[in-house]
């Protein structure tokens, strides 16, 4: 793919490694959620590819919802002030809810979202994320299903963007020259 001058892409996890990680996650999720008609909630935009690959490996009835968060107050660094741009459109009270996220970085977005969803009184509420970047954590987040522990580097691809570019890369790449 063409990159901006000064930047270079280096594959961190190939599409094959991503597929294997999602297969492992799907097996574990199926063991826990089969027969419970869970609601999977994808966090836009980053999780859209992960969500679509994950749900196609789950061969039992489930529902899907999407939420959209935005942080404000700073353009490059998560400010901690999160708001909900788009919420769930169905009731999740009494249901088994699994939040599906691409990456947990500072943890501020997920702390906000899990607190918000908890107030809607789901029967259970858990989190599945493809990538966990614990080195950047500012708020503790319990991750029930995690694909990769990733280094503190600027990652793009497989849903992750830099200035809205690169989400369509099939591999997860380090964008060298950015931090
Ligand atoms: C990313 C990611 C998480 C959040 C994690 O989304 O998808 O939602 O940041 O960061 P945190 O742990 O520091 O809160 P982003 O805000 O980049 O929006 P996007 O999903 O639309 O790309």
**Where do the domains of the chain lie?**
15-150
Per CATH, the number for 15-150 is 3.40.50.2020
Altogether, the residues listed in the chain come to a count of 179
- How far apart are alpha carbons 122 and 65 in whole angstroms? 14
Q: Which ligand 1 atom is at minimum distance from the Cα of 71? A: 16
Assess contact for 30 and 70: CB atoms under 8 A. Answer: no
pTM of the predicted model as reported, rounded to 2 decimal places:
0.93
| Cβ of 49 less than 6 Å from ligand 1 | no
Q: Return the closest-CA partner of residue 24 out of 103, 128, 152.
A: 128
Active site residue 105: yes
Q: Return the closest-CA partner of residue 82 out of 72, 74, 67, 92.
A: 72
Between the alpha carbon of residue 106 and those of residues 9, 32, 46, 152, the distances in Å are 23, 27, 15, 11
How far does residue 38's CA lie from ligand 1's centre (Å)?
23
How far does residue 140's CA lie from ligand 1's centre (Å)?
16
| Cβ of 12 less than 6 Å from ligand 1 | no
Between the alpha carbon of residue 11 and those of residues 2, 104, 105, the distances in Å are 14, 19, 19
Q: Which of 44, 68, 109, 140 to mutate to test the pocket of ligand 1 (most atoms within 8 A of CB)?
A: 109
Across 21-44, average pLDDT:
98
> What is the pLDDT at residue 4?
65
How far does residue 134's CA lie from ligand 1's centre (Å)?
14
> What is the pLDDT at residue 71?
81
76, pLDDT greater than 60 = no
> What is the pLDDT at residue 3?
67
Assess contact for 59 and 175: CB atoms under 8 A. Answer: no
Which residue, by CA, sits nearest to atom 20 of ligand 1? 46
* Per-residue pLDDT tens digits for 155-170: 999 999 999 999 999 9
How far does residue 103's CA lie from ligand 1's centre (Å)?
7
């Amino acid at each position: 793919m063409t990159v901006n001058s000064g930047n270079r892409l280096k594959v961190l996890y190939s599409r094959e490694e991503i597929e294997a990680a999602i297969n492992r996650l799907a097996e574990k999720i199926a063991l826990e959620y089969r027969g419970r008609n869970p609601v999977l909630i994808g966090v836009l935009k980053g999780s859209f590819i992960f969500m679509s690959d994950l749900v196609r490996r789950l061969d039992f009835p489930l529902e899907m919802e999407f939420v959209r968060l935005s942080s404000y107050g700073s353009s490059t660094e998560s400010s901690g002030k999160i708001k909900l741009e788009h919420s769930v459109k169905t009731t999740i009270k009494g249901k088994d809810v699994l939040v599906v996220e691409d990456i947990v970085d500072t943890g501020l977005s997920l702390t906000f979202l899990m607190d918000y969803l908890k107030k809607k009184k789901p029967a259970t509420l858990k989190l599945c994320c493809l990538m966990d970047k614990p080195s950047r954590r500012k708020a503790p987040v319990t991750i029930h299903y995690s694909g990769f522990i990733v280094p503190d580097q600027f990652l793009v691809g497989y849903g992750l963007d830099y200035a809205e570019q690169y989400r369509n890369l099939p591999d997860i790449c380090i964008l060298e020259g950015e931090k």
